[in-house]
Amino acid sequence: MGIIHQKYLPFSEEQLLSHFADVGAGRAGEREKYLGYYRKSTENYKTYCQANPDRKGKTLRETKVPCQIEKDERFWTVACMMTIFYSPNRTEELVHLLKLAYGAYPPVEGIDRWEECCSGDLALFFETNLPSPRSYKDWLSKNLTTRQFIPYILDSAFLDGDRDKPNLEGPTHVDALLVNSKNGFAVIIEAKVLSDISVEITYDLMRNQIARNIDVMMGAENDTLPDPLNKRDPKRTLFLLVTPKLFKDNPTSRLYGYKFMEYKKDSDALARDLPHRTDCDWGIVTQKLGWLTWEDFRSVNKDCCRWLR
């Protein structure tokens, strides 16, 4: 099979499909829908570029839709991570990046070297759904009116009569996930290009996307997930934010910059935003938060993010 796009996704559909776990986009019937998104975006882009070899002076109204691929987080994430994953120097490149994000040694239990994290049975998944922690859903059902105030939304939290809905938060959609089934090491990746984080879920107006990812990182609800996702060890899982260098250099330009820096510097802030977790060593949790840029990936592998000037 031919590659999807020479610059923005230089891999085949068959290769891409191999990185869907049997959850979310990896379920039967969803894979083709997911691939359809890439096909359509690529076809629109190629057609427009062929008809308009010189785009200078074109209005944003004309170029925004057909050129979506140039700022699409899905394309950036898949192309960048697959480039590293299939690199002949994968372990070396991952170790370099992880040291840059977290320091010289892994901030996880029982593993002393990054090489141990990155070698062995390593798997990469995209668009993966990880279950919401049971402790959070139980807490939210008891504190619903402190986190939401719109009447019809509150009413919808009941199945019938006074019986609560059993699931007030669905699974968390993870942009990318690295899992080492040999030792349980994992990295949950939240990727951004131009967008910011979401600041709420339906029943909790205070639950921002960074806190939600960290909560899932700490969660142990892996028993219903397919192999190797069920091998992920929460105590050996890290959270990684990936953004353009422009926004890391200017973190207050985005809400995720505020929240990430707050969580790194003030463990009490995490305790405040994850009130259902009362038995945590938040100082250890803050060490598991890392921030890399697309430019960092390109610095270790020139084939990453080839569209960056």
pLDDT of 1 higher than 60: no
Q: Residues 257-262: what's their mean pLDDT?
A: 97
Q: Residues 138-161: what's their mean pLDDT?
A: 89
Paired strand residues for 122: 180
Q: Residues 6 or more apart from 17 whose CB is under 8 A from it?
A: 31, 35
What is the C-alpha to C-alpha distance for residues 12 and 158, in angstroms, rounded to an integer? 45
pLDDT class of 93 with cuts at 50, 70, 90:
very high
Paired strand residues for 241: 190, 291
Give me the pLDDT at residue 30, please.
76
Torsion of CA 194, 200, 201, 204, to 10 degrees: 170
Q: Residues 25-50: what's their mean pLDDT?
A: 86
pLDDT of 164 higher than 70: no
Give me the pLDDT at residue 215, please.
97
What is the C-alpha to C-alpha distance for residues 294 and 260, in angstroms, rounded to an integer? 17
pLDDT class of 23 with cuts at 50, 70, 90:
confident
Paired strand residues for 188: 177, 239
What is the C-alpha to C-alpha distance for residues 306 and 309, in angstroms, rounded to an integer? 8
Task: Give the predicted TM-score (pTM) of the model.
Answer: 0.94
What is the C-alpha to C-alpha distance for residues 197 and 234, in angstroms, rounded to an integer? 23
Give the three-state DSSP class for 146.
helix
pLDDT > 90: what percent of the chain? 83
Query: Quick one: which H or E segment has residue 283?
Result: helix 282-287
| CA distances for 94 relative to 100, 187, 245, angstroms | 10, 11, 18
Q: Residues 223-248: what's their mean pLDDT?
A: 94
Q: Residues 6 or more apart from 217 whose CB is under 8 A from it?
A: 188, 234, 237, 238, 239, 288
pLDDT class of 79 with cuts at 50, 70, 90:
very high
Question: Do the Cβ atoms of 164 and 158 come closer than 8 Å?
Answer: yes
Give the three-state DSSP class for 51.
helix
**What does the pLDDT look like over 98-126, one tens digit per residue?**
999 999 999 999 999 999 999 989 999 99
Q: Residues 216-245: what's their mean pLDDT?
A: 93
Question: Do the Cβ atoms of 210 and 189 come closer than 8 Å?
Answer: no
Specify the amino acid at residue 168.
Answer: L
2 or 42, which is more confident?
42
pLDDT class of 163 with cuts at 50, 70, 90:
low
Q: How many CA atoms lie within 13 A of 255 on its CB side?
A: 11
| In the chain, where the domains are located | 1-71, 72-300
Q: Residues 119-137: what's their mean pLDDT?
A: 93
pLDDT of 223 higher than 90: no
Give me the pLDDT at residue 24, please.
64
Max Cα–Cα distance, the chain, nearest Å: 62
pLDDT of 151 higher than 80: yes
Q: Residues 6 or more apart from 93 whose CB is under 8 A from it?
A: 84, 87, 300, 301
Specify the amino acid at residue 291.
Answer: W
Q: Residues 65-85: what's their mean pLDDT?
A: 97
